Structure 1
């Protein structure tokens, strides 16, 4: 199939040309001859349109120009104003023009186009370890502490090589551990736009705990909004290659690209909430954003943290959020604060219900990802990086 591209992304054109289903890719940036551009585009069966060159109000004219000759797809770039994106989608729907949602890397764009328009068949399976992203309904829901607990339990019981990657733009997540690694912002130049960081180098930058490795998140306030989709994708891809299981601490701000890319790249997404009314209300405010950036509905599992029976049943929260329950963890009260002050994991607390519920959730994850059980397996030695510490 011949593909036309009304836009300026040379890398997108290059990767499309490498796709087995394409015969040729023509970009309008290759010539200034408008007559030649129009004649060439009329030979294409699929035309991709960048919103950086074509405004929504111009789409109707393009549709009329290529009516019956080609299928049109509008590539929407990210805009902070959610209504603008929703209105753009309505314009496309009105004119029968396909859409590609924002916040996609070039690789994700090419995969989407292959699957949706080039008869690519089943989605390409992701190579390497499984990625699980945890996101909070608001701050202080305990995403970081819960991520550490899951990582510690998976590494200890399942014999998996586990990583935790901090992708919270507003907190590095280095509490509960006496941290001895690099921070995400330290790697900024190495991961920028896809970068040069290798999987082996990533490990050398990570703190090595007893049962998992950890790369702390961003601690540079000037870089909170500067991480590109490609740079985040590169870090996750490096972690996938080295580790069996990668847990992403995505924080609680899905309007930030670090958090958003964690959700887009995950094989499984877990939303962490408390029973606070504000936390539950905030979840419903996130849903329009998820719909805006994903061509398909994002699926989540629910983890209720700091649960207390006096504030209601878990089923009530499950119904309110319309998210199936993965499990819950009890409120550790003063023990949780003590762990943070002493920089130790919540799994060190002698609390039978916490241990029981954590075990049940890891058992479910084992079933989901078909991990072989290795009860009480000693922590695996690392091939790269610093010596393991408690």
Structure 2
């Protein structure tokens, strides 16, 4: 297969040539007529103007074409670019993809090969600040890590919240690894030293340097995730709500399992997230069905939106409803303990539903004692039923 890259970035040519699927990779600086059969194009927005799409489509009417936009700061401009590309049947790539991810994405689509991203990378996002993403992820990590043989890591990648206050955290922070990430020198050993171990899972707390909140680069977060996958078997990412930052975007692009956490506050499901979805996620091909919905701190009340209505508002399938535990939540925070460890089954069974889903999807190995315990519980409840 032959590919043409219209770009000044030679790394694209080098990466494509390393692939078994690509026979020839040509690097052009403008649209021209090829001397060999071209099967796919990559257009780099750094030098390629979208107004030239009609010209390249006229010369190559049937070939798959991918367009990587340059940095676009206007939602209106991004929407225009997306529409122009759609009109010419050109696939828009996310502007925060790294060079390696761009090449992988194109190869994945044109060869129909299996997804290259590990299914053991699971990201959680929020409809708004305060939805409860961090609480959900940490309690889920506690549930999951007790039940499976695999090593579970929580990566806190919300640049606005280090998530170090739910228990006595004794590790380093995302900003402590900034130099390692910037210089491409992060090693499995360095990461292992940085994380904290709590009861049954590992955790790297997020950014606590206010001045660094928007200064993480896509390649840095991509590197962190790849190194983490070398050390740990399952990675749960607390990705926050900011889809205009590299940590959140890389979490979205890197994971196959994506959960959206919301609650019954209207500012989230109707006020903030719909705009994020329409302006940042949908223009690059994202769909509502990419997410599984988790409703957090749910209160059954005639004055609050119900579960079914929340599903319809966000056009997503709900997989769990986590109840509001009231004062017990405040007590857990004060005692520096996870709610999963001090709450009753009304809370834990709903967190366990998420664990069940992840165990199944990721083909994890349940600990023998946990499997026996579950069987005994089933027998007991079956007996009660009789």
Q: TM-score, normalised by structure 2?
A: 0.87
CA contact (8 A) 1:190 1:197 kept: yes
TM-fit CA distance, 1:180: 1.1
Give the structure 1 partner of residue 2 of structure 2: 2
1:293 to 274, 277, 284: 284
Mapped partners of 1:116, 1:44: distance in 2 = 19
Mapped partners of 2:211, 2:67: distance in 1 = 32
Q: How does 1:315-354 map to 2 (within 5 A)?
A: 315-354=308-347
TM-fit CA distance, 1:135: 0.7
Change (3 A) 1:375 1:330: farther
TM-fit CA distance, 1:161: 1.1
Give the structure 1 partner of residue 169 of structure 2: 179
Change (3 A) 1:372 1:116: closer
Mapped partners of 1:312, 1:241: distance in 2 = 42
TM-fit CA distance, 1:262: 0.6
Change (3 A) 1:376 1:84: farther
**SS at structure 2 position matched to 1:325:** strand
TM-fit CA distance, 1:339: 2.1
Give the structure 2 partner of residue 88 of structure 1: 81
Give the structure 1 partner of residue 382 of structure 2: none
Q: How does 1:6-85 map to 2 (within 5 A)?
A: 6-28=6-28, 38=32, 41-43=34-36, 45=38, 46-64=40-58, 66-67=59-60, 72-85=65-78
2:178 to 182, 188, 191: 188
Q: Where does the alignment leave 5 or more consecutive residues of structure 1 unmatched?
A: 378-390
Give the structure 2 partner of residue 386 of structure 1: none
Give the structure 1 partner of residue 359 of structure 2: 366
Change (3 A) 1:292 1:95: closer
Q: How does 1:258-277 map to 2 (within 5 A)?
A: 258-277=247-266
CA contact (8 A) 2:289 2:317 kept: no
Change (3 A) 1:67 1:161: closer
Mapped partners of 1:70, 1:217: distance in 2 = 43
Change (3 A) 1:219 1:294: farther
CA contact (8 A) 1:134 1:147 kept: yes
Mapped partners of 2:146, 2:284: distance in 1 = 36
CA contact (8 A) 2:164 2:205 kept: yes
CA contact (8 A) 2:239 2:248 kept: yes
Query: What count of residue pairs does the alignment treat as equivalent?
Result: 365
Give the structure 2 partner of residue 383 of structure 1: none
Mapped partners of 1:329, 1:68: distance in 2 = 51
**SS at structure 2 position matched to 1:304:** strand
TM-fit CA distance, 1:72: 4.1
TM-fit CA distance, 1:52: 0.8
Q: Does 1:231 align with 2:194?
A: no
**SS at structure 1 position matched to 2:186:** coil
Change (3 A) 1:71 1:280: closer
Give the structure 2 partner of residue 355 of structure 1: 348
CA contact (8 A) 1:42 1:69 kept: no
Give the structure 2 partner of residue 388 of structure 1: none
Mapped partners of 2:273, 2:92: distance in 1 = 26
Give the structure 2 partner of residue 380 of structure 1: none
**SS at structure 1 position matched to 2:160:** coil
CA contact (8 A) 1:72 1:98 kept: yes
TM-fit CA distance, 1:98: 4.1
2:295 to 304, 315, 325: 304
TM-fit CA distance, 1:232: 0.9
- Runs of 4+ in structure 1 over 6 Å off: none
**SS at structure 1 position matched to 2:154:** strand
CA contact (8 A) 2:292 2:318 kept: yes
Please say which of residues 323-332 and 221-230 is displaced more in the overlay: 221-230
Q: Where does the alignment leave 5 or more consecutive residues of structure 2 unmatched?
A: 371-386
Give the structure 2 partner of residue 148 of structure 1: 138
TM-fit CA distance, 1:13: 1.5
